[in-house]
Chain A
Amino acid sequence: MKSNRSNFVRGFLAAAMLGVAAQAYAVTEIQWWHAMTGANNDRVNALAKRFNESQNDYKVTAVFKGSYPEAMAAAIAAYRSGNAPALLQVFEVGTATMMSAKGAIKPVYQVMADAGEKFDPKNYVAAVASYYTDPKGQMLSFPFNSSTTVFWYNKDAFKKAGLDPNQPPVTWQAVVAAAAKIKASAATPCAFTTGWQSWTQLESFSAWHNVPFATEQNGFAGTDPKLEFNGPVQVRHIADMQDWVKKGYFTYAGRKNEPEAKFFSGECAMLTTSSAFYGTAKQNAKFEFGVSALPYYADVAGAPQNTIIGGASLWVMGGKSKDEYKAVAKFLSFLSRPDVQAEFHQATGYLPITMAAYELTKQSGFYEKNPGTDVAVKQMIVKTTDKSRGIRLGNFVQIRDIIDEELESVWSGKKEAKAALDEAVRRGNEQIDKFAKTARQQAP
């Protein structure tokens, strides 16, 4: 019996070694789970295909896994049953969850160093990369698709309302003035609306005015941040917006990107939403539209600073073989190439993640041919501050839901701005505490 078992073990080991030897000659295949839909899904597949054709040792298979939260939930379930993909696209609000999952992930800088790939975080656009960087400046995940919040306006409606279509409002005060004219002239039934209200009107808004969203550098410097987006600047803005609802300047149309439809259908003349709306707007709008920087309050010192990114990054999952990590490293190097980046940036409207890709696009004359496409880039390529670098919070997904709920109660007139933001901060802090409880033993 005993000899039988040791024979079996020996045989198994031999087979395993053979397997390893065989693998060295075979193509290493890795899976990349993502959440890109429509045209962007095609871009992702094209990237994988181009990488696979560029060499013979590695093969990347891109797999669509549903919306961002769905893809993340699927990967978590897969990890728990031991079948995680090598590479996973995670939206920005999932960053803290991924970071605290030590063992489940392998930091990108480590993957690159182990594989001997050249990798310098300084080559990446600071405001983009810093969102995914640890306090020591090491990149934990790879920024893939990032966009930011910009202002869109309907030039035809501006003309009808007697506004200069080439002078988009720069400040919120100017937005109100424009809204009043649009309303008075009935150029469009709705003057202003906003997509992603938490992101545009509170997260990006705070960074843009260089006021904190949460303590501990918005959560970057510690594991126990407290929310503080109920400061005077934010309260003033939300109270203003409530006033605009009452005056009929601002029409609420949903939490995510639903309001975008109101813009390209011509119903609303002004919109704040993601810069990645460009492709959709170009395809659907039957009028001339313009893109400009997110408005700000001119009397707030330090504004405008920079806006905050949205979008997703690629995380490398833990527990993979050396060859698989090598494949991941090669693929990430490929994605960083200026020509690959520039092409992705131009086709999708997402931000370029390296300065080289930005320069390349600029030289090609793309921004002149497509006015407005550089607005988002210009909002981002400034030196960030402790308050504007980004936001990193545990349970951020729930916090955004809470903010949405509280803001809705402001728009419907049930609550005053200050009371709603105070309540959102209180409920949000509970979520952060809850997250800290589960992540406590893993803190660095």
Chain B
Amino acid sequence: MAMGKRARFQSQWLPYALLAPQIAVTLVFFFLPAGQAVYQSVLIQDAFGGNVEFVWFDNFKELFNDPLYLASFKVTAVFSVLVASLGLVISLILAAFADRVIRGANVYKTLLIWPYAVAPAIAGAVWMFLFNPTLGIVAYWLKLSGVDWNYLLYDGQALLLVVIAAVWKQVSYNFLFFLAGLQSIPKSLIEAAAIDGAGPVKRFVTIVFPLLSPTTFFLLVVNIVYAFFDTFGIIDTATNGGPGQATEILVYKVYKDGFKGLDLGGSAAQSVILMIIVITLTVVQFRYVERKVQY
């Protein structure tokens, strides 16, 4: 094929053909299931699909009349804010220190990245074993020191446990990006500031953090999505959404009502709502937060 220096497609269809696999994957794995969820959310049906009835928005009405569903929003909000903020702050601190360390830097970095290789369900199980009131070693220490530790009974403790597990798992990922971001900041800028008499804290606040803002913004979006969806495995293995519904975040309720409760219509309606929330959050983040980002 004759080609100039610039890649240019001779035929009309070739670009489409090259894009087709990507589009096909998106259609099959994203749009089709999403469409299915929307369709099922306006139906009620028994588990075996033998009796399907179109009910317009009854499933949604029912959800918004259910105080427990509304409570799940609150749990999700508290949980996501805690996970995202703690995850970002801790990993930024760790990255800032790891960036300054000279001896053994690689060891620190490697160790800090490890938790990311752990699957969420395993992370949940590990923390559950540490803190389980019957089996856990940390629970044993807590009891020795006089703490009435029983996350199966106390809401706050359960929420604390899943937040710790979720943050622990995500810190590595955030750490990696922050570290890369820090290392890409030109040393000359920081040296210039140091010569002008700015201390480490001042340099961080006025130079490093603003230059890190694209990374921080990216991580904010990723962490919110993570808290909303990927923490499912942690919740499932550590608390099952309990006690009461203290750790039942929206995505866990979708699973519980759909797969355990076999209420497909209600569960589909919940996932549609969840979809809308995440789309809205992402749009808001890109429209408003991104404006403050300096690339």
Contact = CB atoms under 8 A, between A and B. Distances in A.
Interface stretch (B6-14, B222-230, B242-250): B242-250
B256 A252 contact: no
Q: How large is the interface on B (under 10, 10 to 19, 20 to 34, 35 or more residues)?
A: 20 to 34
A397 B47 CA distance: 13
Given A261-B135, A405-B242, A434-B263, A411 B45 contact: no
A408 B111 CA distance: 39
Interface in A395-444: 395, 397-398, 401, 404-406, 408-409, 411-412, 427, 434, 437-442
A398 B261 contact: yes
A255 B44 contact: no
A438 B44 contact: yes
Nearest to A67: B260
28 contacts: A73-B259, A73-B262, A76-B47, A80-B48, A97-B262, A101-B46, A102-B50, A254-B152, A255-B240, A259-B134, A261-B135, A267-B134, A395-B261, A397-B262, A398-B257, A398-B260, A398-B263, A401-B256, A401-B261, A404-B242, A406-B244, A412-B154, A437-B44, A438-B45, A438-B46, A438-B53, A440-B51, A441-B51
B46 A439 contact: yes
Contacts of A101: 46-48, 50
B153 interface: yes
A372 interface: no
Interface of B: 44-51, 53, 68, 133-135, 150, 152-155, 240, 242-245, 256-257, 259-263, 266
Contact of B51 (A76, A258, A259, A438): A438
B-side binding surface: helix, strand, loop or mixed?
A: loop
What 6 A-B pairs have minimum CB-CB distances, sorted nearest first? A104-B48, A438-B46, A101-B48, A408-B243, A398-B261, A405-B244
Contacts of A397: 260-262
A99 to B, nearest CB: 11
A278 interface: no
B245 A405 contact: yes
Contacts of A73: 259-260, 262
Contacts of A409: 244
A103 B50 CA distance: 8
B118 to A, nearest CB: 22
A102 B48 CA distance: 9
A401 B256 CA distance: 10
